[in-house]
Amino acid sequence: MDRGTAYSRDSSGLLELFTPDHQRIVGRTLAESFWPVQAAHLQSAGSTTVCGPHQDLDCGLHWCESSVDATIPVHDSTLDSGTCQCHLSSDFESSECGTLFVKTRVAGISVDQLETVDWGSTWEAHASSIKDGVQVEGTMGEITSLASVVFEHWESGATEVQPLVQMPMVEATQLTATSNANCTFIEVCFCDGRQCDTIDGLDMSHTLSWSGTRRLTDSSVKRRLSEEWKQSRDEVV
């Protein structure tokens, strides 16, 4: 051992090259004081764009500030019940939009859970709770996983990572419109215990309910219908 080098032992008893007050030792303790890091649900490139959850861009990660009290109820894992807190531009209430195109993003629920949702019917019921006279004409596109959204409490450094999903775009007619203008809106819904403090341009808050939203293509429903069909067939025989 080199007599000119000082050694010490760490808490595990292993030899340390640096003294306990050296920056390399103190730095390790400092790093351990930060909140644990969660992996993103979708891996992004090394160089990417960080966006707000409402921005319709090519984003490798979505981020927003979320204060300690920015909490909401956690949705039911089966989507048989529960609600989400949604944010939409107040321009949605305008009577000038004859045709509405709405792109809804859902945070905190996976694609697998949302694939059983009859989104057209769900959104029509959702829209009717905001204003009267909205009729869904159809949906376009598929349910798509977007880059994860990170909720950060700036003061403490606490973070939470949740999945972010793009729902099929809804096309709807506003029956009471005063003009035939086409209007496109971005809506963001938070469903799993946390939401952003503010979202630029989305100044209207409302609730989305999942009650009774599942399609007949849901496996549990198909199984029930199959059993009922088999029972009726046996009764005939």
Tell me: the pLDDT tens digits for 114-157?
A: 888 889 888 988 888 888 899 999 999 999 999 999 999 888 77
Name the token pair of 205.
Answer: 């808050």
Res 201 pLDDT > 80 = yes
**Secondary structure (3-state) at 113:** helix
Q: Regarding predicted confidence, which is higher, 7 or 21? A: 21
Q: Tell me what pLDDT residue 222 has.
A: 36
Residue 12 corresponds to which amino acid?
S
Which of 107, 115, 105 is closest to 213 using CA atoms? 115
DSSP state of 76: P
Q: How far apart are CA 204 and CA 95, in angstroms?
A: 16
Average pLDDT of the segment spanning 36-63: 79
User: Is residue 107 a contact partner of residue 193, using CB atoms and an 8 Å limit?
Assistant: no
Q: Tell me what pLDDT residue 39 has.
A: 61
Q: Tell me what pLDDT residue 125 has.
A: 87
